[in-house]
Amino acid sequence: MKRVIVLGSNGQLGKTIKDCADTETNEFYFFSRTDLDINDSDKIESIFANSGFDYCINCAAYTNVEGAETNIQDAFLINAEGALNIAEACANNQVKLIHVSTDYVFNGKKQSPYTEIDSTDPINQYGKSKYQGEQNIQEKLNTYYIIRTSWLYSLHGKNFLKTIINKINDDAVLNITTEEVGTPTSCIDLAKFILHIIDDNTIAYGIYNFSARGYTTWYGFAKEIVRHYNSKKVKNVNASAKFKTIAKRPSYSVFDLNKTEQAYQELNSWEESVEALIEEYKKSNK
Ligand SMILES: NC(=O)c1ccc[n+]([C@@H]2O[C@H](COP(=O)([O-])OP(=O)(O)OC[C@H]3O[C@@H](n4cnc5c(N)ncnc54)[C@H](OP(=O)(O)O)[C@@H]3O)[C@@H](O)[C@H]2O)c1
C-alpha cells in the first residue's frame, strides 16, 4: 500500500482523481488550496517531513490562460515557484512526483505530432509559467513524472464540455473556432493513467505526453459533444475561423503518444471518451 498526497484536489483533475482512486490499494491524502497552498514552502515541508508519502500528485495550478496574460506574476508564482516548492519537498523526503503540465509548452508550428523531446517554445504566459515549472522540477528532482496533457474536460468545475452543454440547454447558436487542432482529454482517462503509474511502480521517470487518440478542432469537439448530448441541436453548432482571445494559442498541439503507449495500453479515441463522459453527465443530471 502506497501513501499518496494529492495537491490542488478541488480542481477538475483533483476531484476526478478522488472519484477514481481505489482507496483499498493505496492511501490517499487530498489537499485543496485551503488545506495546503503550494506557495507556502514551510507548510509543505512540514507536512511532507512527517507523513512518509511515496507519491505526490500535483494538480494545483494557475489555469486561466487569458488571465495569465495580465496576472503574469500570479501565473509564475503558482506554476513555476509552486512547482519548485513541491519538487524541493519531494527531494528532501524521497517522494516521487507526478506533475501535470500542458501542450501549451509548444508553439504549434510543427505539422506532425509533438514528441516528448521536441523543442519547447511557449507562446503565452500560461505556457511560459508551466514550462518554467517543468524546468524547476527537473533541476531539483530525479524522481519525477511530468505529464503533458491537453484540452481537459470532466464532470467537475468549469470546462469546455460543460459550457457547450449549458449553452445548448439555453438553445444558443454556437460559433466555434476551427483555428486550433489538438486533442480533447477526459480527466477520467488522465486520472487512470496517473493511478496506473503509481500501481505499476516500475515506469521510467521523465516526461510523458497524455491525451486521447486522434485529434480535432474546438468546432469538431463541440459538434461531437452536442451529437451525443442532444443530436437534434447539432445544427446549432457553426464553424468559425476566428475566436478573439488575449492569449496566443498554438494552432497545432497534437501529441505523439508512442512513449506513453509503451507504458500504458488503455488509450481511448477522443470520441469514445466524449461519449463515455456524456453518459456519465446524463446519469448525474437525471
Ligand atoms: N484545463 C485544461 O484544459 C488543461 C490543459 C492542459 C493541462 N492542464 C493542466 O492540468 C492540471 C489540472 O488542471 P485542472 O483543469 O484540473 O485545473 P483547475 O480545475 O483550475 O484546478 C486547479 C486547482 O489548483 C488550485 N490552486 C491554484 N493555486 C493554488 C495554490 N497556490 N496552492 C494550492 N492549490 C492551488 C485551484 O484552487 P482554486 O480553485 O481555489 O484557485 C484549483 O483547485 C494543471 O496543471 C493544468 O495546468 C489543464
Q: What is the mean pLDDT of residues 219-240?
A: 96
Cell of 36: 495546503
| Spacing, Cα 182 to ligand 1 middle (Å) | 20
Q: How far is CA 24 from CA 21, 66, 197, in A?
A: 9, 40, 16
Whether 184 is in the pocket of ligand 1, judged by its Cβ within 6 Å, is no
Q: What is the mean pLDDT of residues 184-197?
A: 98
- Which residue ranges make up each domain of the chain? 3-159+185-214+253-268
Distance CA 278, CA 160 (A): 13
Report the chain's mean pLDDT, rounded to a whole number: 97
Contact between residue 14 and residue 160 where contact means Cβ atoms under 8 Å apart: no
Cell of 84: 519548485
Render pLDDT for 76-133 as a digit per residue (tens, 0 to 9): 999 999 999 999 999 999 999 999 999 999 999 999 999 999 999 999 999 999 999 9
Q: Look at ligand 1, atom 17, and give the residue with the nearest C-alpha.
A: 11
**Probe target for ligand 1 pocket from 31, 59, 63, 77, with the most ligand atoms within 8 Å of CB:** 63
Render pLDDT for 31-71 as a digit per residue (tens, 0 to 9): 999 999 999 999 999 999 989 999 999 999 999 999 999 99
- Tell me the CATH class for 3-159+185-214+253-268: alpha beta
Beta-carbon-side half-sphere exposure of residue 86 (alpha carbons within 13 Å):
37
Q: Whose CA is closest to 58, among 125, 123, 141?
A: 141
